[in-house]
């Protein structure tokens, strides 16, 4: 068991939260977490981020700035409930076409139902697949987005290489993820809230604190901003940078396929 952050040299594939797991074991464990929380996933994000995830996601969409003209395609990976994809389609004035990809059928079911209710179903397609093995041709998309998903992927380097492969030249990679708080005092408060507050809230809301413990620990394990940026560069992306939100509670990493 290790509470140290993984680095650009690896460590995420064999960690399930703070627990060490064997090669190939992580995916099944993560699947169980998301089957359990699918219906309450958005409420859970509100709880874990104090409602801030909405602000961060809106900021991500502003950075992406999807064109309001037809013919632009994006893929949102680990986006099952549709939260990011709906925002992108709406920001494009319903011109963008999107693929919502998730490895978890429960999450996709929630997203598909919501897309129909919101009248966005004709702009979106839902596909169950693995971020490490994308079922798309090279150069298929103008943008690749992933929000609060990459830390749950066992082989992050492979997923990043796949992101690069399916993007067109000039395509944009944007990743929103919990990160390392880089402000004194806030870091201590955040740590206390994460490890004491959130699993208790999960217990109260969802009746099960265990999935939330995984989510908190996996946040704490994820490589810090500069390390993750190095991984994105290694996958082939150019002009990689990041923006911290709320003192680094979350960070938006950006890269281009040039």
Under the binding rule (CB under 8 A), the answer on residue 99 touching other proteins is: yes
Under the binding rule (CB under 8 A), the answer on residue 119 touching other proteins is: yes
Residues 6+ apart with CB under 8 A from 162: 131, 132, 133, 134
- Among the listed residues 21, 120, 129, 183, the single contact to other proteins using CB under 8 A: 129
Under the binding rule (CB under 8 A), the answer on residue 24 touching other proteins is: no
- Among the listed residues 46, 90, 128, 227, the single contact to other proteins using CB under 8 A: 128
In the complex, least distance from residue 34 CB atom to other proteins, rounded to whole angstroms: 14
Closest by alpha carbon to 215, among 54, 4, 44, 79?
A: 44
- Among the listed residues 130, 145, 194, 254, the single contact to other proteins using CB under 8 A: 130
165 φ, ψ to 5°?
-60, -45
- 102 assigned ligand-binding residue: yes
Helix (H/G/I), strand (E/B), else coil: 236: coil
- 235 assigned ligand-binding residue: no
21 vs 121, beta carbon nearer other proteins: 121
Under the binding rule (CB under 8 A), the answer on residue 97 touching other proteins is: yes
In the complex, least distance from residue 178 CB atom to other proteins, rounded to whole angstroms: 26
Under the binding rule (CB under 8 A), the answer on residue 105 touching other proteins is: yes
- Helical axes 156-166 vs 225-234, angle rounded to 10°: 50
Residue 112, CB-side half-sphere exposure with 13 Å CA sphere: 12
Give bridge partners of residue 174 from the DSSP assignment: 145, 254
- Among the listed residues 6, 33, 108, 174, the single contact to other proteins using CB under 8 A: 108
228: part of which helix (H) or strand (E)? helix 225-234
């Amino acid at each position: 068991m290790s509470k140290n952050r993984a680095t650009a040299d690896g460590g995420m594939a064999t960690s399930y939260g703070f627990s060490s797991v064997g090669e190939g074991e992580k995916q099944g464990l993560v699947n169980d977490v998301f089957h359990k929380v699918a219906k309450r996933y958005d409420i859970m994000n509100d709880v874990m981020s104090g409602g801030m995830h909405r602000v961060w996601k809106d900021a991500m969409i502003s950075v992406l700035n999807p064109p309001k003209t037809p013919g632009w395609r994006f893929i949102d990976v680990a986006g099952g409930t549709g939260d990011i994809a709906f925002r992108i389609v709406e920001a494009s004035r319903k011109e963008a076409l999107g693929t919502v990809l998730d490895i978890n059928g429960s999450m996709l079911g929630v997203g598909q139902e919501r897309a129909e209710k919101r009248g966005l179903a004709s702009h979106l397609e839902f596909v169950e697949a693995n971020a490490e093995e994308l079922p798309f041709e090279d150069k298929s998309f103008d943008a690749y987005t992933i929000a609060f998903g990459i830390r749950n992927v066992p082989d992050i380097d492979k997923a990043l290489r796949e992101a690069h492969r399916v993007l067109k030249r000039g395509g944009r990679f944007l990743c929103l993820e919990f990160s390392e708080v880089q402000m004194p005092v806030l870091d201590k408060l955040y740590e206390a809230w994460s490890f004491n507050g959130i699993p208790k809230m999960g217990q109260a809301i969802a009746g099960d604190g265990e999935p939330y413990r995984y989510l908190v620990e996996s946040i704490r394990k994820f490589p810090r901003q500069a390390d993750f940026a190095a991984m994105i560069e290694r996958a082939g992306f150019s002009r990689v940078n990041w923006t911290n939100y709320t003192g680094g509670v979350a960070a938006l990493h950006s890269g281009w396929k040039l």
